[in-house]
Amino acid sequence: MSRTTGQPTVQGGLPVIPARSVAPVELPAPPEHLAAKVAELLGWGGVMLPPMTLLGRRVVMVAELITDAHAERLALGCPPVTDRTTVSTWVWPELAGMVPAPAVRLIGAIALSRHWRTALTSVVPFSRFTNTAVVVPAAVAEGDDFLANCLMRAGHYGVSVATAQDAGPVELTLRGRPPQDFPVEQEVTVRWLREVVYDRILATTVS
């Protein structure tokens, strides 16, 4: 026989206390708007692309079109090559001097999330190839975990950290550092990223 005692329900010998409902912290503005603010704070020029998935991560890429190389590729009829297997052959010694020149310069990658861990996980793989930054809600930055872990890890990888206020302003909490020369074994990845971004720039800027 059961009765209501006003005490927490007991399951398996342990009290079960109802979880308090807490509204999730959300980004206060669209990703494109916040990313543009961060790029401005960091002095990143170039073309800002809509959010896209690269290397399995959702990021906003900022890149610069290399006009001379773009014009040459147009003249030669060489559009972006986004097939990774094809691009992987471009590092073969026998193809030296025969592959198209890069038509874009990667300026930066930005990850935006309501969780700093998610944002860092998304953007860290790009820190070897370009500048990187994360944007999180300002409320997230108030916790000890953010100060003790997020800023430490971001600093280790050279990632800039920005917080977005509810009213709209974006503030730079940590300025990252530019990447060093990427490892030779990453050459294929870098070339492929440039081609995918080149393709997206043309699709975005050419009507």
pLDDT tens, N- to C-terminus, the chain (207 residues): 444 445 555 545 555 544 444 345 677 788 888 999 999 999 999 999 999 999 999 999 999 999 999 999 999 999 999 999 999 999 999 998 899 999 999 999 999 998 999 999 999 999 999 999 999 998 888 878 888 899 999 999 999 999 998 876 899 999 999 887 766 668 899 999 999 999 999 998 764
Q: What angle do CA 35, 37, 43 make, to 5 degrees?
A: 100
Closest CA to 41 of 162, 189, 207, 179: 162
Structure confidence at residue 206 (pLDDT): 66
Helix, strand, coil shares of the chain, percent, nearest 5, are 40, 20, 35
Q: What is the pTM of this model?
A: 0.84
Q: In 3-103, at which residue ranges do the beta strands (DSSP E only) sit? A: 9-11, 14-16, 47-48, 52-54, 57-65
Structure confidence at residue 104 (pLDDT): 97
Structure confidence at residue 22 (pLDDT): 39
Q: Is the separation of the CB atoms in 114 and 136 below 8 Å?
A: yes
Structure confidence at residue 65 (pLDDT): 96
**What single DSSP character describes residue 8?**
P
CA atoms within 13 Å, Cβ hemisphere of 199: 14
